[in-house]
Homo-oligomer: A and B are copies of this chain.
Amino acid sequence: MPNIDVCFSPELLHLYDLKGKAVVAVDILRATSTMVTAFAEGAANIFPVMELEECRAFAGQGCLTAAERNGIKAEGFDLGNSPFGYMGGNVKGRNIAITTTNGTRAIRMSEEAKEIVIGAFLNLQAVADHLAELGLDVLVVCAGWKGQFNLEDTLFAGALAERLQDTFSSESDSTLAASYLYQTAKTDIVSFLRQSSHVRRLEHLEIHKDIEFCLRHDVYDVLPVWRHDRLLDLRFKEVES
C-alpha cells in the first residue's frame, strides 16, 4: 500500500527523499488555486518561476506574466494572484509565466520527484484520482507562508489524506495532524481559518471573495502536472503527445 506523507514547509523539504514519489504542491491562498483556475479557463502552459525579472522576460515570448509579492499584484505584470483575474476568457489558449511568494518555490524545489501535481481544494478529487492511479508514495508539499507552517495548506493535505484513506497508508505525525485538523475544520473551513493571523492579513488586502472561492471543493477536474519546464493540464496534453 503506498503512503501519503505531508511536508509542512519547503524549509523542511531536504528531510524527505523525493525520488520515485509523487509530490502534490499546494499553496491554497492562492498560487495553486489560481493555477488550477487558469487551466480550467483554458490556459495552455504555465511557467512557474522564482524571480520577478525571470518572469518579466517571458513577456517577450508572447506569454502573459503574473506576479504576486506579499499578497499583492506586482507592478508591471499582466496578472496577479487572484483566481478571478483569470476568468472571462483572457487566458484561453495563452501561456502564462507566474511567480508568487511561496507557491512557485514549492513547485521548483520538488523537481526531483517522479511526478509533481498541482493541488487545490478546487481540483481535490481530480488530484486524488490521479494519485490513486499512479500508486506512488505521495508527499504533499505545503508552500506555507515564507517558510512557516500554515493552516490552509495543511487542511488541504488532510482533505487529500481523507480521499485516499482506503488505498494509502498515512502514519506520519504530520499526516495525522493534517487529518485531525481537517476533520475539525471541514464543516466550516472559512470560519475555521478566520482565526488565522495569516488569513486575516490576506483579508486585510480585501481578498475575502478569493478566500471563499479557494476553499471550495471539487469545482474543476483539471490536473496540472509538471513536465520538463512547465505545468500543463494532463487531461489534454497527454492525449496530444
The chain B residue sitting closest to A184, CB to CB, is: B180
Chain B CB within 8 A of A147 CB: yes
> B171–A149 contact, CB under 8 A?
no
Instruction: Give the residue of B12, B15, B174, B197 whose beta carbon is less than 8 angstroms from that of A173.
Output: B197
Beyond A11-B11, A11-B12, A147-B15, whether A196 also contacts B176 by CB under 8 A is yes
Contact B171 A195 (CB under 8 A): yes
CA distance A173 to B28 in the complex (A): 14
| A70: interface (CB < 8 Å) | no
Which residues from chain B contact A15 at a C-beta distance below 8 Å? Answer: 11, 146-148
Pick from B146, B180, B197: contact of A172, CB below 8 A: B197
In the complex, per-residue mask of A151-182: 1 if CB is within 8 Å of any chain B CB, else 0? 10010000000000000000111101100110
Number of copies: 2
Asked if A173 and B150 sit within 8 Å, CB to CB, the answer is yes
Of the candidates B8, B146, B195, B200, the one whose C-beta lies within 8 Å of that of A149 is B8
A99 at the interface (CB under 8 A from B): no
* A198 CB–B CB distance under 8 Å: yes
Give 5 nearest A-B pairs by CB, closest first.
A171-B197, A151-B173, A149-B174, A150-B173, A15-B147
Give the A interface residue count (CB, 8 A).
Answer: 27
Distance, CA A195 to CA B175, complexed state (A):
11
Beyond A171-B200, A176-B195, 4 additional contacts (C-beta under 8 Å) are A148-B174, A171-B197, A172-B197, A173-B198
Q: Considering the chains assembled together, what is the distance between the CA atoms of A200 and B9 in angstroms?
A: 24
Q: How far is the CB of A209 from chain B (nearest CB, A)?
A: 21
CA distance A171 to B176 in the complex (A): 22
Give complex CA distance A172, B150 in Å. 8
Q: List 18 A-B contacts (CB under 8 A).
A: A8-B8, A8-B149, A9-B12, A11-B11, A11-B12, A12-B12, A15-B147, A15-B148, A145-B173, A148-B174, A149-B174, A150-B173, A151-B173, A151-B177, A171-B195, A172-B197, A173-B198, A176-B196
